Structure 1
Amino acid sequence: MAKEARGDFYPVPIVDQNTRPGAVTRLIIFIVVLTGAAIVFGLFRERLGDPFLLGMLGVLAMIGVGFLFATAIGFVQVTPRSTGDELSKSFVDSMSQGLLVTDTKGRVVYANRAYADMTGASSAADLKTVEGLLSDVPEASVTIYRLASGLRDGQPGDGEFRLAQSIRPGAEPGARWY
């Protein structure tokens, strides 16, 4: 999930599937695996024999050289290349408009806090896509269908509709424009 908030200016998104383990975490995992392999080789040295250990050392050397070449040509990335992603992520996290990103199968990949507040979702399990929220509402179904069809075809689109009540459960009564 998302990292801790840096204050009210950068609210934490309710869903963020893009987070990866940091470089320190990967380094610790690498150290633990190497230490475990060294202990196993040390304990079973007599049973495995010197030819096996020499062959294993050769295989590990080839893997290491391959890793160095892959890192040199940029195939393997040890650290993030730029901070532009952090800037755009901070911008999207702090937007006052709700933002929901889904993959091609309709699964939620990212949702900012404003979207959760607008729809009344308190956790990632409560989130619904725009189609899931509004496809059965007669006032919005035509606009939502037109936008969804256009997006599936790769066309940009926009639209607005008026609902007699808010899509957020428990909100003040009254008509809203979306």
Structure 2
Amino acid sequence: MSTYEDPQARELVSLLVAHLDEQLRSVVRLRAAVDALGAAIRERDVSAVLRHTGTLEAETTFRTTLEDRRAGLLHRGGTLLGVPPYEVTVAGLCSLVGPDQAGEALRRSDELLRSMEDVAREHRTNRTLMQQELSFLDHLLQLGGVPPEPTYEPPGDRGRRPVGAAAGSAAAPHRHGLDLRA
């Protein structure tokens, strides 16, 4: 019996193709959420940022289920190939089946890799935008007198200032965490 006639190999690669299709559908949803998040960040729409972040979290949670299924496929593939699961590759599995089925699996795998790279690139852009927005907000808060880090205040003194004194103004009390002056 030739390798191409091995029903276990054909079934496994069919399951692999179905799994890759499911991964691709997940990546499409992930990309839509990442794109929507990027638009919300650019528009400074806080409620939309929170909503799309929730969508990203939900899809990421679903992807852990996909990873569990992937681990099962790798285990089965390792058994067929005679290697540990961590050494199983799509190309290795494709060597067990005919060229048509192998080509289908390889095309889907390549498409998935390209799609994941696109999502990762856009996600990095979103992270950079978010860091810039948060840095700008931090700067504005400091200009408004909000200290960059929480400071020590004796109990009962929290927020007490002379009447009419703005935070950080000369009239506001100045406190030293450790006063070593003589």
TM band (smaller chain): under 0.3
Flag the structure with higher strand content.
Answer: 1
Flag the structure with higher helix content.
Answer: 2
* Larger RCO (CA within 8 A; separation ≥ 6): 2
- TM-score, L = length of structure 1: 0.26
- TM-score, L = length of structure 2: 0.25
